[in-house]
Amino acid sequence: MGEIAYRLYVLAYGSVVGLAFLGDVRGNHAAAATIAPRTTALAGAALVALIVIAGSLGRRVVALRPSPADVQLALLSPSPRDDTLRSTIGVAASVAAVAAGVAAIVFMFVATPQFSGLSVGVELAYVAFGAAIGLLVYALHLVVAERRSLVPLGLIAGAVIVLCGVDVLSESARSPATLAVRSLRCGASPIAILATVGIGSALLWRARANAEDIETEMISRGGDLADHAAVALFGNDVRTLLILQRSMGSQPWRRRPLVHFPSAVAQRFPVLARTLRNIARWRGYRWLVMLSLTGALCGLLRVQPASARTTVLSAMCLWLLGLVSCESIAQEHDRADRLSLLPMERSIEFRQFAAAWSIEFVWLTAALLATRSRASSILTLTCLAAACTTAATVAAAVTFRRVWKPVTSLEWMASPAPGAEIVITVLWPALVAFICLSGLLRGATGALLLPSSVLVTIGYLLWVAKG
Amino acid sequence: MTTLEFDNVTKTYGENAAVDGLSLEVASGTWLVVVGPNGSGKTTMLRLASGLLSPSSGIVRVGDAVAGSRSARREVSYLSDSPAFYSDLSVAEHIDYLAGLFHDAAVAGRAHEIIGNFGLRHRVDDAPDTFSRGMKQKTAIALALARPFSILLLDEPTRGLDVEGTDTMVQLLSAIHAQGASVITVSHEPEKFVVDGALELRVHDAKFDRPQPLV
């Protein structure tokens, strides 16, 4: 029962945030007028990113994830592999098509203000066309998955996405991706849909026929990680999902850190140095993602400062930032037996808050400066955002404390508690960030500090009680 | 030095007992090899001694302290059968972290020395997560032996080690034992741990025999 409740909670949370955001855009004519002309370029960038991600994941065959038993018994047996993989491919292709169909209708809804006034037939045509494109992208992903080496698409894709960014800023259409999406918007004809479905089906058939050449080790590892990700999404927490996502992408840490901390310093301040060494090994793309996420958050706050629904979205962004910043604590949480065996107080990692939130503060400050706001606004927003982020980070860390049971950690890891407890622990940091941001958006400093202080105090007491 | 005592300890998982009524006193300076078939309760016994698991009934004491308490953890070093490392720290950074947590620079010196004994000095700037199984095991042994302790718990320490690595490890353990520490190891290869005064503890289906001299 608790598991079902949690799944419903995740679904409802995501749906409410998505609908609230769409409603904001549609209901705010100024925002709609700002966003609509840029949607084509944004969608172009998203499509290019999707194709690159699909290709990159394809090397690890994540989208083909038979069970470990299938891999060890069926795929290693002399029976034809395409028989074993037929249902897997069918299910995955269907999911891709449905998701792309939904994405297409959402895209048209946002991009075309008069879209909801069109006939049902036109809307269905866009859904069908989106689904056909989803099928095509999945089929391409499978075909790429068969290859031993992938053409280095990253640089090309990066250049195209930068051009899309220029298109967004200048409301023009120069990027190939923007032009492609613009042509797709006009191309939802029956012939185009049938042609896309035909090409996608042919590629799927080819991928299935070549299943004999797929590397089973990769299938097995990809399948395991995808299963763990599913567990993390529905049975655990978003922080675990982030870490698994990094593992699934095989995105290693930077081999040499950006900054080298001398041993004497690291031994004098072990906890602080441990956190900073984590940050120093982030790869460049991750810095960019963090900056982009923070920049988007700041932009959102500036465009729609009075919207409570936007606040929910902002709270989620802050929460994610808090979780990522607490990652070194998260590693302790994942293998609690490492520190819990050492003869020191078991709250030692809690001190990492200071380093974690200060790092976040740097992100927010940089993003705020990048928005070229007035000096007074920068100061106000920086101070308030720092307070919010601190609260979100502390709340995220309290989440770890709340579910972390050091002495019997192995027993706990063997049977993670689903249901109400997890719902509360996952909801808690978002709630803190939400209340803080509500105060921020109303411009009332007192309204910001009071609820956050109360909630952080409650979290601290919970932590003490657990300790 | 410190004794390790199991006082009528039982550990159950559901209806299955992993350790059933174990009463045992391990005097300081003991060299004890725990042997038995898979699933008989060897690893559970070590985890109870380290404090990772709590007994379903009975009590485990390290000296006068309950296993898992802070003062007990000060005396016990535990090498897991599946070593875990931070994915974002190099070997040298692991050593710095450990030394920092113990506020003892000598820990770092010992760890680097043991890493050198295992022939891994040239890899200290690499993340152990990228190592082979045997190299990970050597790194984990170095970290476990470098910290201060009086009771050393080892779960399958030879797993993945090459012949030279096994010899080096046994030499290190012998030196530590000679200084008065207790060494308790779970192994399917007891012949590799034959030293003067060594004892063997046999276990079958969660029932432990009395310790006998290891031949």
Say what the ipTM of the complex is.
Answer: 0.74
Q: How far apart are the CA of A331 and the nearest CA of chain B, in angstroms?
A: 7
- Select the residue of B84, B97, B126 nearest A335 (Cβ to Cβ): B84
Query: Average pLDDT by consecutive 10-residue portion of chain B (215 residues)?
Result: 91 88 94 94 92 87 88 88 84 91 90 96 91 94 94 93 94 94 93 89 93 88
Give whole-number Cα distances, A207 to A81, A144, A202, A214, in Å.
11, 9, 9, 10
Q: How far apart are CA A340 and CA B69, in angstroms?
A: 10
Q: Cβ separation of A341 and B88 shorter than 8 Å?
A: no
The tokens for A404 are 């972390």
| pLDDT in the model for residue A271 | 76
Q: Cβ separation of A340 and B52 shorter than 8 Å?
A: yes
- Name the residue in chain B with its Cα closest to that of A415: B13
Q: Does B207 touch chain A (CB under 8 A)?
A: no
3-state SS assignment for residue A283 = coil
Most B CBs within 10 Å, among A246, A248, A253, to test the B interface: A253
| pLDDT in the model for residue B140 | 94
Q: How far apart are CA B60 and CA A409, in angstroms?
A: 18
3-state SS assignment for residue A175 = coil
Q: How far apart are the CA of B140 and the nearest CA of chain A, in angstroms?
A: 11
Q: How far apart are CA A144 and CA A65, in angstroms?
A: 16
In order along its 467 residues, chain A shows pLDDT tens digits of: 455 555 555 566 566 666 656 666 556 666 666 666 677 787 888 888 777 766 665 555 556 666 666 666 677 666 777 777 777 788 888 888 888 888 887 777 766 665 555 555 667 777 888 888 888 888 877 777 655 445 566 677 777 877 887 787 777 777 888 887 777 766 667 777 888 888 888 888 887 776 666 666 666 666 666 666 666 665 555 666 666 666 655 566 777 888 888 888 888 888 778 878 888 888 776 776 676 666 666 666 665 555 555 666 666 666 666 666 666 666 665 666 677 677 776 555 555 555 555 666 666 666 666 555 555 565 666 666 666 666 666 666 665 555 444 444 444 444 444 445 555 555 655 666 666 555 555 554 444 455 555 555 555 455 444 43
| pLDDT in the model for residue B167 | 93
- Name the residue in chain A with its Cα closest to that of B143: A338
b (16+ CB within 10 A) / e for A32-54: beebbebbbbbbbbbbbbbbbeb
Q: How far apart are the CA of A407 and the nearest CA of chain B, in angstroms?
A: 5
The label of the residue with tokens 């709609």 reads: A32
Q: Cβ separation of B88 and A343 shorter than 8 Å?
A: no
Residues of B in contact with A355 (CB under 8 A): none
Q: Does B102 touch chain A (CB under 8 A)?
A: yes
Residue partners of B123: CB distance under 8 A and separation at least 6: B91, B131, B135
Give whole-number Cα distances, B213 to B33, B167, B199, in Å.
10, 22, 4
Per the CB < 8 A criterion, the answer to whether A95 and A137 are in contact is no
Rounded to 5 degrees, what angle do the CA atoms B95, B100, B106 make? 70
| pLDDT in the model for residue A409 | 40
Structural element, H or E, at residue B57 = strand B57-62
Q: How far apart are CA B102 and CA B96, in angstroms?
A: 10
Q: Does A268 touch chain B (CB under 8 A)?
A: yes
Other C-beta atoms within 10 Å of B82: how many? 12
Q: How far apart are CA B28 and CA B211, in angstroms?
A: 15
Most B CBs within 10 Å, among A260, A279, A342, to test the B interface: A342
Beta partners for B208? B203
pTM for the model stands at 0.68
Residue partners of A269: CB distance under 8 A and separation at least 6: B100
Query: What one-character DSSP code corresponds to residue B187?
Result: -
| pLDDT in the model for residue A112 | 67
| pLDDT in the model for residue B101 | 83
Per the CB < 8 A criterion, the answer to whether A297 and A371 are in contact is no
The residue type at A2: G
| pLDDT in the model for residue B121 | 94
